């Protein structure tokens, strides 16, 4: 018997592009099918960051938080991965489920698309992190849609 997991409704999901300076946020629709931007956070770390993200998840009724996993070898990837791991652990202690998902090329894709359409990076740069969070979350959602399980 083949069960199509794409028909399962994961509910609202919060997506995170964790960075050392800023954290981009994205949220899915209530059916967990489409990611949209939800802003960015600056100047927060540790427990204060985790509490703020928990508040965002509660406000949106999200039970799952997908946090980007940076590829090895990228600048500061070890520090970013460690910070994202600490954030995931803190959120789990607060009762949220977390998943890590590959964030390879999300920021460079955002910057390339912006340049392609004639835009320039402007201050504030939080839109880059927000857009990267959208790509991370949509990639996770698309992976769920394409996954089938044989029972």
- pLDDT-based confidence at residue 151 (cuts at 50, 70, 90): very low
List pLDDT tens digits, range 81-138: 999 999 999 999 999 999 999 877 566 565 555 555 556 655 667 888 998 999 999 9
Task: Count how many Cα atoms sit within 13 Å of the Cα of residue 119 in the half-sphere of its side chain.
Answer: 12
Q: Where are the alpha helices (DSSP H) in the chain?
A: 46-60, 77-93, 106-116, 126-146
List pLDDT tens digits, range 34-59: 999 999 999 999 999 999 999 999 99
pLDDT at 75: 75
Nearest Cα to Cα of residue 29 among 60, 68, 8: 60
Q: Which residue has the higher pLDDT, 44 or 5?
A: 44
pLDDT at 106: 63
pLDDT at 15: 97
Q: Where along the chain do its domains lie? A: 2-150
Q: Which residue has the higher pLDDT, 139 or 119?
A: 139
pLDDT at 97: 97
Phi first, then psi: give them for residue 20, nearest 5 degrees.
Answer: -70, -25
The CATH classification number of 2-150 equals: 3.30.420.140
Q: Which residue has the higher pLDDT, 148 or 113?
A: 113
Kindly tell me if the per-residue pLDDT of 6 is higher than 50: no
pLDDT at 107: 60
Give the distance from CA 21 to its chain's centroid: 15
Any idea what the Cα angle at residue 82 is, between residues 78 and 83, rounded to 5°? 120
pTM metric for this prediction? 0.82
Q: What is the mean pLDDT of residues 65-73?
A: 88
Edge to edge, what strands does the sheet with 35-42 contain? 35-42, 22-28, 13-18, 64-69, 97-102
The tokens 């100047």 sit on which residue? 43
Kindly tell me if the per-residue pLDDT of 23 is higher than 50: yes
């Amino acid at each position: 018997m083949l069960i199509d997991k794409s028909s399962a409704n994961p509910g609202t999901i919060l997506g995170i592009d964790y960075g050392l300076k800023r954290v981009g946020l994205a949220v899915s629709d209530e059916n967990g099918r489409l990611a949209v931007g939800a802003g960015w956070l600056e100047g927060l770390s540790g427990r204060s960051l985790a509490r703020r993200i928990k508040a965002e998840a509660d406000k949106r009724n999200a039970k799952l938080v997908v946090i980007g996993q940076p590829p090895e070898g990228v600048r500061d990837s070890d520090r970013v991965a460690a910070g994202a791991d600490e954030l995931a652990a803190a959120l789990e202690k607060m009762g949220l489920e977390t998943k890590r998902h590959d964030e390879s090329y999300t920021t460079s894709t955002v910057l390339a698309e912006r340049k392609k359409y004639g835009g320039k990076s402007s201050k504030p740069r939080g839109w880059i992190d927000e857009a990267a969070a959208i790509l991370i979350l949509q990639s996770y959602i698309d992976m769920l849609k394409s996954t089938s399980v044989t029972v």
